[in-house]
Amino acid sequence: MTAPRRSAPAFALTAALLLVPLTACGPGTGAGTDAGTRDAAGYPRTVDDCGRDVTVDSPPQRAVSLNQGATEILLSLGLADRMAGTATWTDPVAEGLEAANADVPRLADNAPSFERVLAEEPDFVAASFQGTLGEGGVAPREDFERLGVPVYLSPTECGKTDSGEDGAREEPLTMDAVHTEVRDLARVFGVEERGEELVADLQGRIEAATADVDASGTTLLYWFANAESPYMAGCCGAPGIITEAVGARNVFDDTRDEWPQINWETVAERDPDVLVIGDLTRDSQTAESAAAKIGFLESHPVTRHMDAVENERYVLLSGAALNPSIRTVEGVEQVADALRGFGLAG
């Protein structure tokens, strides 16, 4: 879900990925890098960003990532020393990335101001959500581009419509879009080999997590946040990737809205077998933490008699796992493991 509104067990990256030597050309000073850096071999480079060309003249040295998903890809590619700042977090950083993340300035827990980002003299900006680059977000991408700062938006946002607060999808999201984001960012920074290693790791983890899982006949519901007008997952975002991977069915697969707000009476009528619950550490909506959500479910007269509530079939996921990101893989792993524990894995 778009982080400024609705908005990640954690992403374990192998030590080998984090220890790969960097190939950066020398320290940058924002958009105006020196001639030696501009003449780096293989540059300028262009990537196709949802049909829009994004070109960098040299490997970025002062990148700013405006959402946690983009941040964790850059950290996973071993690029912490080329990052000038991060922002908009729903959860603690992924397991294995703590040391790298500690050296990167956090500009804001939520959306920073345009001026705060520019103060870091960025030479590249990456965002996970269209809302971050729109009204109510940081700034339109055109505002950065007018100042000579290339902006990259995650391809997981490609093709979304404006239906609903968080948009809707005509086609279901797949991990291919996340893999494209990894490869694009690796190309921009000149670390393609690390990008391929990361993609292979993500693919292998999903294969291992689901090899013996068949949850056909099992229904799931995903609740991100908000108790009064809860955001539940529609068919086709990151929860759809998780659902398909384990072979289950989302009880709200009849809506293509990314995160529709659905009343509790309708939730109780659908009566899912398992509740997948966002366990967020931010403070933005009501019922952010899993504890708050479970407390609500077990006390509310409409929800406390649901089968999943009475049998405490809860799966707790980070917000980053429920958003399209490399952390969605840990969502697959945790849901698959929980279904085994519930005896619902086939």
Domain ranges of the chain: 27-206, 213-342
Sheet bearing 63-65, strands edge to edge = 106-108, 83-87, 63-65, 124-127, 151-153
- Predicted TM-score (pTM) of this structure: 0.88
CA dist 133 and 117 (Å) reads 13
User: Which pLDDT score is estimated for 161?
Assistant: 86
Q: Is the pLDDT of residue 22 over 70?
A: no
- Better pLDDT: 153 or 167: 153
Query: Which residues have a Cβ under 8 Å from the Cβ of 57 and sit 6 or more positions away?
Result: 33, 38, 43, 44
| CATH architecture assigned to 27-206 | 3-Layer(aba) Sandwich (3.40)
CA dist 17 and 110 (Å) reads 28
Question: Which two tokens mark 193?
Answer: 């080999």
Binning pLDDT at 50, 70 and 90, where does residue 164 land? low
Superfamily, domain 213-342: Nitrogenase molybdenum iron protein domain (3.40.50.1980)
- Better pLDDT: 284 or 169: 169
- The number of C-alpha atoms within 13 Å of 297 and in the hemisphere containing its C-beta is 27
User: Which pLDDT score is estimated for 1?
Assistant: 60
67-102 pLDDT, tens digit per residue, is: 999 999 999 999 999 999 999 999 999 999 999 999
User: Which pLDDT score is estimated for 135?
Assistant: 83
Neighbours of 131 (CB within 10 A): 25
CA dist 300 and 303 (Å) reads 5
In this chain, the answer to whether the domains covering 27-206 and 213-342 adopt an identical fold is yes
Binning pLDDT at 50, 70 and 90, where does residue 24 land? very low
Binning pLDDT at 50, 70 and 90, where does residue 134 land? confident
In our burial notation (b when 16+ CB lie closer than 10 A, e otherwise), range 48-65 reads ebeeeebebbbbbbbbbb
> What is the longest distance spanned by two Cα atoms in the chain?
68
Binning pLDDT at 50, 70 and 90, where does residue 39 land? low
Least confident of 164-168, 293-297, 336-340: 164-168
Q: Three-state DSSP class for 122?
A: coil
Q: Is the pLDDT of residue 4 over 60?
A: no
CA dist 275 and 278 (Å) reads 10
Tell me: cis bond preceding 44? Omega within 30 of 0 counts: yes
Q: Is the pLDDT of residue 10 over 60?
A: no
Instruction: Give the angle subtended at the CA of 93 by the CAs of 332 and 319, to the nearest 5°.
Output: 45
Mean pLDDT of 12-21: 36
